[in-house]
Amino acid sequence: MAAALRQQLGCLFTVTAASLLLAFLPHLTYASQRTPVEVWRTGDDGLTLKISEAVETAFRASPAFILSSGRKSGTLIVTLPTNVDWKRVGKRTQVQYSVQFTSIHEEKLGSKAGVCWENSPQDCAAQIVKAAVTAANRLRVAAGNSDGQ
């Protein structure tokens, strides 16, 4: 009876430990594999600056990325290629943005377009960071393919 109880407790411990590991594994993976990112913009109006600053702040806060400069190897380039567009919707201003994701060698890794409200630029930034995760995965795959050649 004691052996069966020990076996059940051991199994319970193993399942609990595995559950905790799976719950925290994404955070551990991000910490060891943060992707360097550079945010570029060609637009120079106030609203575009506001959005690009929110994007940089979001990347700074993300466990998946680290801001970089100097086009270092393995860096994801996030470009706002034009001024953001906007339109009035009732009494509010809706921002429409587009971004492109590339490697330092100008390899295209994806793009994203979206909208947010002018008074919530962090919403646009969150959308961009989320899309950047996919682009960063493509960047890693491309880097892995070039290492093997």
Q: Work out the pLDDT band at 28, boundaries 50, 70, 90.
A: very low
The closest alpha carbon to 30, from 143, 141, 136, 145, belongs to 136
Cα separation, 108 vs 140, in Å, equals 13
pTM: 0.75
| Domain covering 34-147 assigned CATH 1.10.8.80 in the classification | no
Task: State the pLDDT at residue 7.
Answer: 65
Mean pLDDT of the chain: 84
pLDDT-above-90 percentage for the chain = 72
Residues 87, 63 contacting (CB under 8 angstroms): no
Cα separation, 29 vs 16, in Å, equals 20
Q: Which residue would you say has higher pLDDT here, 12 or 70?
A: 70
Strand-strand pairing, 35-41 and 92-102 = unpaired
Pick the range with the lowest mean pLDDT from 5-14, 118-127, 135-144: 5-14
DSSP, collapsed to helix, strand or coil, labels residue 48 as: helix
Model confidence over 30-82: pLDDT tens digits?
445 899 999 999 999 999 999 999 999 999 999 999 999 999 999 999 999 99
Task: State the pLDDT at residue 146.
Answer: 62
